[in-house]
Amino acid sequence: MAELSLEEYLDHIRLEVPQCPREIMKAEFLRITRDFCQHTRAYQFEVTDESILQLVSDYDIEVPNTQVQPVAVEYLTVNGAQSVFKDLKWIQDNIPNWRARSANDFTYFTQVQPLQITFPCVPTQNGTVGGLKYWVSLKPKLSADTLDDVFAGEWQDTLEAGTKAHLMLMDGKPWYKPKRAVGLLAEYRHERSRARVRVSRAYGNPEQRVSAPKFA
């Protein structure tokens, strides 16, 4: 994944809100991008180099860089067999002694912590090298300075429309343009809905999706 500075995208936004400070534009662009990613799951990363380790039940979710954080594990396999997400209550109700049982059973996984994958067993042996594979959806951190160029290039117009709309709704600011904002906000919401459908069709629609807690 190649990263581009957020300045590449702020330059386009600045044309319609010329007096808006860079810090405000950046904060709003990141907020809109995070909303878009949370809603659509359009920013995804494939992890292919993980392995099951003996006696290890918990695995940190891998991300491509320090600029992003996980939204959800979208699809996971162990040695080619799908592992299905179940919430913690389901695991507790259906798998006795799940935290301590010795087994190589990866039929299900859960998330005890938002940044980890947890299997309801204690593996008795090392697995196949690279046998743990998954897709994880991402969103930029609030502190991000860069964004993946492929993702942003695909959805740039939508992200910019949403950002400009929210900036133009800031009453009392020199760049306040409510009529223009209404049209841009409608465009953003429409394209966000279309993107969600596109991503779902492209990557399948798992029975259950794993959502990390929403971040402030």
- pLDDT tens for each residue of 141-161: 999 999 999 998 899 999 999
Q: How far is CA 16 from CA 139, 147, 176, in A?
A: 25, 22, 10
Q: What is the pLDDT of residue 207?
A: 43
CA 89 to chain centre: 23
The C-alpha torsion from 181 through 33 and 76 to 96, rounded to 10°, is -90
Residue 154, judged by CB atoms within 10 A of its CB (0-12, 13-18, 19+), counts as middle
pLDDT for the residue numbered 7: 86
Distance CA 116, CA 94 (A): 21
Choose between 109 and 152: higher pLDDT: 109
What is the rounded CA–CA span in Å between residue 121 and residue 98? 6
pLDDT attached to residue 105: 96
| pLDDT, the chain, mean | 91
pLDDT of residue 1: 59
Q: For the chain, give the percent of residues with pLDDT over 70.
A: 93
pLDDT at 204 over 70: no
Q: How confident is the model at residue 210 (pLDDT cuts 50, 70, 90)?
A: very low
More confident residue, 52 or 212: 52
Averaged over 56-62, what is the pLDDT? 97
Check residue 169 and give its pLDDT.
Answer: 97
What is the pTM assigned to this prediction? 0.86
